[in-house]
Structure 1
Amino acid sequence: MATEGSIIDEIYDLVATPDAYDAFMVNLEEKLTTMRQNGEAGYASALSQHMQRASALVDIVTPWRRETDETLHQELAKRVQVTAALDENGNVLDANMAAMTAYDLVPDSSIATLPISTSDTARLKDRVMDMSKHGGRQNSPNDVLRFRNEQSGRPILVRLERYVQPSTQRTLVILRTGDVGWPAHLGPILQDLFDLSRAEIDVIRLMVEGLKVKEMARRRRAAVSTVRSQLQSIFSKTETVDQMDCTRMVYGLALMHEVDEGNLVAARLEARNETAFFPREDQRHVLTLPDGRLLDYSDFGATDGRDVVLWYHDQAFGDVWFKEPVQMAARRNIRIIGPLRPGFGRTTVYPGEASEPRDFVPDVQALLDHLGIDRVTIVSSSSGLVHALAAAAQMPDRITGITACHPLFPVLSDEDLEGTNGYNYLLPHARLHFPASVKFLCKAGFAFVMRSGPAAFGKAVMRASPKDVEWITRPDILPVMVHGRRVHRDQGHVGNFGDLNYREDWRPLLTDCPVAVRLVIGEHDRNVQWGAARRWSDALDHVTLEVLPNSGYMVFHQQYAQILDWAHADLKGQSDA
């Protein structure tokens, strides 16, 4: 018997496994018939609207799908060596992290990116074409191609393998080299084994990349004598005799863990060493409101800071900050207050299916009164913008400005969704054209976060914004993600769905906002509606758009210095500076 729960589970599977999308759509009509027969006409009516837009939605989602299969992608990811999947013309369809970091081999690039001569590139392309069409003509048991790196002068050894995709029977070529990109997990593993410092890990990384001592010193902005001293300390701790011996040991260690396993080991090591994250447990508090309800909030940064940032998070464990921005806030005497919205943490859930941001404002006002805080600036992420605008509308004298990172926008047309990837296109497109299906999609999205864990979250990040992948797998970042999920799991989430941020009637909150609104997007963000961002910033004098370089959708964590600069300026009344 089809139920709302079973439909939600189907949509969850859709979110977690995009290849299931077509099958889901094909089966949906049968489910609708079954639901009607079982007296569930209400759910069937809501989902039938979804069905009416299915063909258009497939057209939207399909162009963003990964061309290579997920099995192949996972196989590439396990390799420490540079590994990439090529078509017959030498175009890169998929690549692992080592290929991206060592040679910039990323999807939609080509083997012409390799730092080899034009004639060597042509020879390599011929071999790829031959391998793809004829299975290759192997001339010797050790069929390794040799090229010269025109940048470093060192050899590049390449091996090609034929791969047939099970789903399409398309023939691809897997390229492997003897080179490795520095695996992010190696740092904490080396530290744990040999009690090395962060500086010594940096020196080892440069040593493995083949740099000489003078170049290491230049890259680290240190004296040559300092680097030599650090090398001697490394040799002593690792019981190696010279750079070659140490490099051999490091390469051997890198091969002992597949990438996924290595990242997990690194995360556990960092967590065991109490990786710094905020808020700490002692910085989380619960305020009992006048009517007896509870408000969960965090208080960190500068303990007694006179300048206060009100932080509106976006999702489960979205209130977790990293060490560097919190330390910078403390140095600037900025205090961070993060109220958890209804349904998050221990904050009391409102009755019914809607969690109205306007209703939450009095609770936040009571919190500020309790803490003796008169004026704040707001920094928000994604859907936190809606709560920020509601607060500004009802407390205009207490809010100095809003900085909205990776913001959610009111979407009025399909053109507003320009720039959004297919997966995140789904929700605003559904809200625009068939709002009755939104509650199912909301629940599916939350189920994805809670049930899939950090690994699936990482896959979603790769699809949404590949530029974020290397950042999010850093050994100082991944444990914070794991910690945030644990905190959220321990505190629980009851959750209300169908928030105001998914309905059109919050547009007046943006158009009539009494304070300046700064929309902040990372230049590589494929997870936000660029069209809507441009339209709203062009149409409203109090709304501006800032596009920050070298950032993806986690722009707040990557560009915290600039974000805190803006927040500090708002608090000082210098928003135009």
Structure 2
Amino acid sequence: MHFDQKENRPVESEAAREGSIPQIARSLPDDTWHAALGRLYDVALDPLHYETLIDVWEDAVGPMRKRADAFNTTLLNDPEIAEHFRRAGEVLDRVMPENIEEEITRILRPFGRVPAFAIDGRMRIRAVNTVARVQLGAVDGGILTDLPILGTEIASIRNAVAGLAAEQDHTAAIMRVRTGEDGRFLILRLQRFLMADQSPIVVVAANDLKFPAQGQAVLRDAFALTQAEAEVLHALVDCGSLTEIATKRGRSLDTIRSQIKTIMSKTETRSQVELVRLALSVVEISQVSPPNAAPESKGRSVKKLTSFASKTLTTPEGRRIDYFVLGDPMGRPILYSHMALAMPRWPASAEAFAHRRGLRIIVPIYPGYGHTTPAPRKSDYDAVLLSDARRVLLAENVTRCPYVGVAGGSYFAFPFAHENPELISGILCGGGMLPDLDHTTYDGMGKWHRFIVGGAKYTPHLLSFMVKTGFALTRRIGKIGFLNAIYSGSEADKETYSDPDVLEALLIGSEVGLSEGISAHDAYVRSMIGGMLKDWSALIAPVTARIPVIFFNGLQDPQVPPAAVEQMLRNHPQIDFRVYPDAGQLILFRHWQDALEVLDDLTRA
């Protein structure tokens, strides 16, 4: 394989195109295999193509999965396929300047609620947030003329961006532009940032022009305007046409011009453009909440998570283990396993409830996540993870407690309870899976979960590229964008993280998996390909015979579909299944009060 000099994409040799289809894939139509291979390199060059790879990959692997043995088959276990994945991984490393993308993503992060995008000095859109992608159709690598803004306004935006990029004294500007679709006005707020290499980037945040109810009073008081002058300025900001203002107010055009001249004098502005910018800036400043003001909650709690440093212990071998203690630091203990997706924090309301109930939720950070030392390369990852959890409990002087697991990570509760019978008083699994599920479980999964979880089970040797590219995609589209993608088929999960409490917990908690200087993709892979998806059914009977085991499962879970829940209910009557039609994979965050009530009881067992 070599790189096309013009398009910077890998070019397959004639042998690769015609003669290198691995023998194990010969049962697939050639076009299906070539499509999957092509998408593989497309994703390596640009992770934004990730979803297209998921779709094509399912076309290729889905039929093979249906014929595979549940526990004794590794699909596509062919050195040529592994070599393509290795090459694609090299391409990803070569073309993804992660440090720059991380920096731009971090700059855009505070603009999560409004459309925002970053433009470089060449007027190229370097990155967009999810809101801009949806509302403005903006895309990474796009240009300004792609936006739904009136063509005559684009030159003004270019000039403003160029001015800010070159200006040393001024770092921000505000503009009013008209859209090309329906002629409505947008307010653009431009702000210059300097990258680590000192190159400028300009972030453009957009809002529909909605003059607040108190806007006239703010302008009147700020500039000693009369009520009539404040109304004219309001109208100027809203529509911009003096003729239209005169018509609506029943005044002559000369009267309106005279009033505007007076307003410009009082505001010490030299043009209508400058006047409008000043008016918008003053009104915007007036709407900034004081530091102690409570944001609107729309009926939901908007408490902030308590900030605290993680605790740390060092093993005799020199490994560092970090862990959190949520709730009451002196309360009755609960061991919580945060799953591979990294959800170590609970919603603020849940952590406050735990504190009131006297519950201490202990959260060991998985090996390779956050600042916890990775498991040694040739070690058994599962064994290191479970050993770390035991060490943390001993450090916290815990003699007995319940174990909480999430999704596929619920697996770890069973070997831990089996190996440490004196420590565990019960198990609660949120969105848990059991090992005796067949290929129909994977067929019923959401496509994102099937791609990763199915990949871990049937093509574990290829999982590293799949996961690393998923992490790269998250850096490109942001964590909210990634949540929107993986939970696109679960209305319950989307509704769950629309709660500000839950979203805050997910975003802050996930920093141990992906944040500046941290990428736990290798640890994620190792946690998935250990014992989790193998046949560990022999652990179920002895554990359930000794302690209560409770499963919370939602019928909108993209990883554990309803048919899988029904199968688990039939096969395991000894487990207390509690099924919630209104929940998905994030069931513990949606029904955290029910979960904590159960855990409260288990701490007393």
Deviation at 1:430, TM superposition (A): 3.5
Matched, 1:458 2:483: yes
User: Equivalent residue for 1:293?
Assistant: 319
1:48/1:567 CA distance change after superposition, 3 Å: same
Deviation at 1:450, TM superposition (A): 4.8
Deviation at 1:342, TM superposition (A): 0.6
Q: Deviations over 1:497-520 (max 9, x none)?
A: 243245414343345435332221
Deviation at 1:371, TM superposition (A): 1.3
Q: Distance in 1 between matches of 2:503 and 2:453?
A: 29
User: Equivalent residue for 2:385?
Assistant: 360
SS of alignment partner, residue 466 of structure 2: helix
1:567/1:498 CA distance change after superposition, 3 Å: same
1:363/1:480 CA distance change after superposition, 3 Å: closer
Q: Distance in 1 between matches of 2:290 and 2:570?
A: 47
User: Equivalent residue for 1:376?
Assistant: 401
* 1, 7, 18: which one aligns with 2:51: 18
Q: Deviations over 1:419-448 (max 9, x none)?
A: 421221223434454443334334344444
**Superposition map of 1:138-153 within 5 A:** none
SS of alignment partner, residue 464 of structure 1: coil
Q: Distance in 1 between matches of 2:59 and 2:568?
A: 37
User: Equivalent residue for 1:389?
Assistant: 414
User: Equivalent residue for 1:443?
Assistant: 468
Q: Deviations over 1:40-93 (max 9, x none)?
A: x975244799xxxxxxxxxxxxxxxxxxxxx9x9799539xxxxxxxxxxxxxx
1:345/1:433 CA distance change after superposition, 3 Å: closer
Q: Distance in 1 between matches of 2:540 and 2:472?
A: 29
Q: Retained in 2: the 8 A contact 1:383–1:501?
A: no
Q: Retained in 2: the 8 A contact 1:515–1:542?
A: no
User: Equivalent residue for 2:272?
Assistant: none
Q: Retained in 2: the 8 A contact 1:358–1:387?
A: no
Deviation at 1:571, TM superposition (A): 2.0
Larger radius of gyration: 2
SS of alignment partner, residue 333 of structure 2: strand
* 540, 546, 563: which one aligns with 1:531: 563
**Superposition map of 1:310-349 within 5 A:** 310-349=335-374
Which amino acid in structure 2 is aligned with residue 18 of structure 1? E
* 489, 506, 511: which one aligns with 2:536: 506
Q: Distance in 2 between matches of 1:510 and 1:378?
A: 15
Deviation at 1:547, TM superposition (A): 1.0
* 80, 83, 106: which one aligns with 1:44: 80
Deviation at 1:269, TM superposition (A): 9.3
User: Equivalent residue for 1:559?
Assistant: 591
Q: Which consecutive unaligned segments of at least 5 residues does structure 1 have? A: 29-40, 50-70, 80-158, 160-184, 194-247, 253-264
Q: Distance in 1 between matches of 2:547 and 2:288?
A: 44
Q: Distance in 2 between matches of 1:431 and 1:381?
A: 17
Matched, 1:78 2:135: yes
SS of alignment partner, residue 296 of structure 1: strand
User: Equivalent residue for 2:604?
Assistant: 572
SS of alignment partner, residue 463 of structure 1: coil
Q: Distance in 2 between matches of 1:369 and 1:288?
A: 13
SS of alignment partner, residue 303 of structure 1: coil
Which amino acid in structure 1 is aligned with residue 371 of structure 2? R
1:327/1:475 CA distance change after superposition, 3 Å: closer
User: Equivalent residue for 1:427?
Assistant: 452
1:21/1:417 CA distance change after superposition, 3 Å: closer
Q: Retained in 1: the 8 A contact 2:471–2:519?
A: no
User: Equivalent residue for 1:548?
Assistant: 580
User: Equivalent residue for 1:417?
Assistant: 442
Q: Distance in 1 between matches of 2:45 and 2:448?
A: 12
Q: Deviations over 1:425-479 (max 9, x none)?
A: 2234344544433343343444444553223223225413123324423444444
Q: Distance in 2 between matches of 1:524 and 1:364?
A: 30
Deviation at 1:331, TM superposition (A): 1.3
Deviation at 1:383, TM superposition (A): 3.0
Q: Retained in 1: the 8 A contact 2:43–2:53?
A: no
Q: Distance in 1 between matches of 2:584 and 2:58?
A: 31
Q: Distance in 2 between matches of 1:449 and 1:554?
A: 19
Q: Retained in 2: the 8 A contact 1:468–1:554?
A: yes
User: Equivalent residue for 1:281?
Assistant: 308
Deviation at 1:293, TM superposition (A): 0.9
Q: Deviations over 1:358-379 (max 9, x none)?
A: 3322222222112111011011
Q: Retained in 2: the 8 A contact 1:382–1:407?
A: yes
Q: Deviations over 1:141-161 (max 9, x none)?
A: xxxxxxxxxxxxxxxxxx9xx
Deviation at 1:8, TM superposition (A): 8.3
Deviation at 1:270, TM superposition (A): 11
Deviation at 1:486, TM superposition (A): 4.7
SS of alignment partner, residue 518 of structure 1: strand
Which deviates more, 445-454 or 415-424? 445-454
1:352/1:559 CA distance change after superposition, 3 Å: same
Q: Report the aligned-residue RMSD.
A: 4.7
1:75/1:390 CA distance change after superposition, 3 Å: same
Which amino acid in structure 2 is aligned with residue 426 of structure 1? F
Which amino acid in structure 2 is aligned with residue 281 of structure 1? F
TM-score, normalised to structure 2, is: 0.51
Deviation at 1:317, TM superposition (A): 4.0
TM-score, normalised to structure 1, is: 0.53
Deviation at 1:341, TM superposition (A): 0.9
Which amino acid in structure 1 is aligned with residue 319 of structure 2? R
Q: Retained in 1: the 8 A contact 2:413–2:427?
A: yes
1:22/1:404 CA distance change after superposition, 3 Å: closer
Q: Retained in 1: the 8 A contact 2:449–2:486?
A: no
Q: Distance in 2 between matches of 1:268 and 1:418?
A: 51
Q: Retained in 2: the 8 A contact 1:357–1:386?
A: no
Q: How many residue pairs are counted as aligned between the two chains?
A: 363
Which deviates more, 551-560 or 432-441? 432-441
1:561/1:14 CA distance change after superposition, 3 Å: same
Q: Distance in 1 between matches of 2:288 and 2:54?
A: 34
Q: Retained in 1: the 8 A contact 2:405–2:428?
A: yes
SS of alignment partner, residue 520 of structure 1: strand
Which deviates more, 483-492 or 11-20? 11-20
Which deviates more, 479-488 or 330-339? 479-488
Q: Retained in 2: the 8 A contact 1:418–1:530?
A: no
Q: Retained in 2: the 8 A contact 1:461–1:468?
A: no
Q: Distance in 1 between matches of 2:467 and 2:311?
A: 28
Q: Distance in 1 between matches of 2:347 and 2:420?
A: 29
Matched, 1:303 2:329: yes
Which amino acid in structure 2 is aligned with residue 422 of structure 1? K
Q: Retained in 2: the 8 A contact 1:407–1:520?
A: yes
Which amino acid in structure 2 is aligned with residue 456 of structure 1? G
Which amino acid in structure 1 is aligned with residue 586 of structure 2? M
